[in-house]
């Protein structure tokens, strides 16, 4: 077994709105300093596609693990080459935090469909990998009530649409709606509303399905989103805090992003103990369903309130994020120390002969 090096490399992308005055993400350097305080060395490397091979050569035999701090949206040519580089580093013995396949398994929108057998995701949740399937199924699911479509790419609510039928005609539930059905479409990015025919809107949505990793997830709209989305921020398998994200006031407002005017409240996990306990109890099933046992380093699970048949509260999983989750609002509370401890724990788990420092 290779000797432990006590060295971690962090990958970042140049530019983007997530950077601080020093050009780095505001939460990267604090983790580096937290590792240093424990006797571990770290280095931050900026990634470019044209530097891919040189980075692989440089990292060989230098580091125990890599930590990805790149929002794929900040990569000029997409994530493919970057993910290929991370895979090669992992194949060469480095521990991925997170491995790109874990990012895809946990973070892709179709993770929801893979979790339909759990109590967290409604049975009538669908995914469309082809425009043909979308054109066939969506007019049927929409006939049963408002739906939310979620693209696999994008962030901050871009390409997430609530779709409602506003046509004056009466349609039979469960029968495909005609393409000339008038619908109201509200995008989560900024809660703006558009009126279109169903056929026109579905044609517009083809862009979300076509291309690399394209897909659309189709979920039932849950009106209690107005009461707020509940995000659990995790470091490994430990819940760190819960964010209660309440959408802005307005008839059509349903977005829980800061950009759209949502209000955020940060709570200790104990304030949402029932939800947290249930989520942790489902975690083994989540990992099994997604085919991964390497839980991401920093990730979130977002829930929406619903009402069960017996009138009790039910929490529905709406999304998992793990590609590059930030936590700048909690640096003063020492979250970076928890991250550093988890990095060291994961590395030492690979090297059980190491005596703790």
* Residue 96 contacts residue 10 (beta carbons within 8 Å): no
Comparing C-alpha atoms, which of 303, 313, 304, 245 is closest to residue 279? Answer: 303
**pTM reported for the whole predicted model:** 0.89
Q: Could you tell me which CATH class the domain 7-98+330-350 is placed in?
A: alpha beta
**What pLDDT, on the 0 to 100 scale, is given for residue 326?**
82
Question: What backbone phi and psi angles, to 5 degrees, belong to 126?
Answer: -125, 160
The full set of domain ranges for the chain reads 7-98+330-350, 106-121+224-326, 126-221
Residues 6+ apart with CB under 8 A from 186: 161, 162, 164, 192, 193, 194, 252, 254
Please give the CATH topology (third level) of the domain spanning 106-121+224-326: D-amino Acid Aminotransferase; Chain A, domain 1 (3.30.470)
Tens of pLDDT along 148-179?
A: 999 987 777 889 999 999 999 999 999 999 99
Tens of pLDDT along 22-71?
A: 888 889 999 999 999 999 999 999 999 999 999 999 998 999 999 999 98
Residues 6+ apart with CB under 8 A from 20: 26
Answer yes or no: is pLDDT of 112 > 80.
yes
């Amino acid at each position: 077994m290779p000797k432990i090096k006590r060295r971690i490399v962090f990958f970042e992308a140049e530019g983007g709105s997530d950077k601080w005055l020093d050009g780095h993400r505001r939460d990267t350097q604090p983790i580096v300093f937290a590792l240093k305080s424990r006797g571990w060395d770290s280095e931050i490397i900026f990634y470019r596609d044209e530097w891919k091979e040189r980075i692989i050569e440089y990292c060989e035999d230098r580091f125990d693990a890599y930590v990805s701090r790149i929002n794929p949206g900040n990569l000029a040519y997409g994530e493919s080459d970057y993910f290929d580089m991370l895979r090669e580093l992992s194949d060469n013995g480095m521990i991925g935090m997170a491995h790109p396949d874990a990012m895809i398994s946990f973070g892709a929108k179709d993770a929801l469909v893979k979790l339909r057998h759990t109590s967290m995701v409604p049975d009538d949740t669908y995914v469309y990998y082809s425009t043909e399937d979308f054109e066939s199924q969506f007019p049927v699911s929409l006939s049963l009530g408002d739906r939310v479509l979620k693209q696999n790419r994008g962030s901050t609510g871009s390409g997430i649409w609530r779709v409602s039928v506003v046509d004056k005609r009466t349609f039979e539930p469960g029968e495909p709606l005609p393409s000339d059905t008038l619908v109201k479409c509200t995008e989560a990015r900024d809660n703006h509303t558009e009126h279109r025919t169903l056929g026109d809107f579905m044609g517009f949505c083809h862009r979300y399905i076509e291309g690399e990793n394209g897909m659309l997830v189709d979920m039932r709209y849950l009106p209690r989103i107005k009461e707020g989305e509940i995000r659990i921020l995790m470091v490994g398998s430990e819940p760190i805090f819960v964010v209660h994200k309440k959408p802005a006031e307005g008839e059509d407002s349903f977005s829980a992003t800061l950009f759209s005017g949502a209000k955020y409240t940060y709570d200790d996990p104990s304030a949402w103990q029932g939800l947290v306990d249930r989520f942790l109890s489902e975690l083994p099933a989540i990992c099994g369903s997604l085919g991964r046992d390497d839980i991401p380093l920093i990730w979130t699970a977002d829930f929406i309130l619903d009402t069960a048949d017996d009138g009790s509260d039910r929490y529905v999983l709406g999304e998992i994020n793990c590609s590059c989750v930030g936590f700048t609002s909690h640096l003063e509370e020492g979250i970076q120390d928890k991250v550093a401890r988890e990095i060291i724990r994961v590395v030492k788990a690979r090297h059980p002969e190491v005596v703790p420092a």
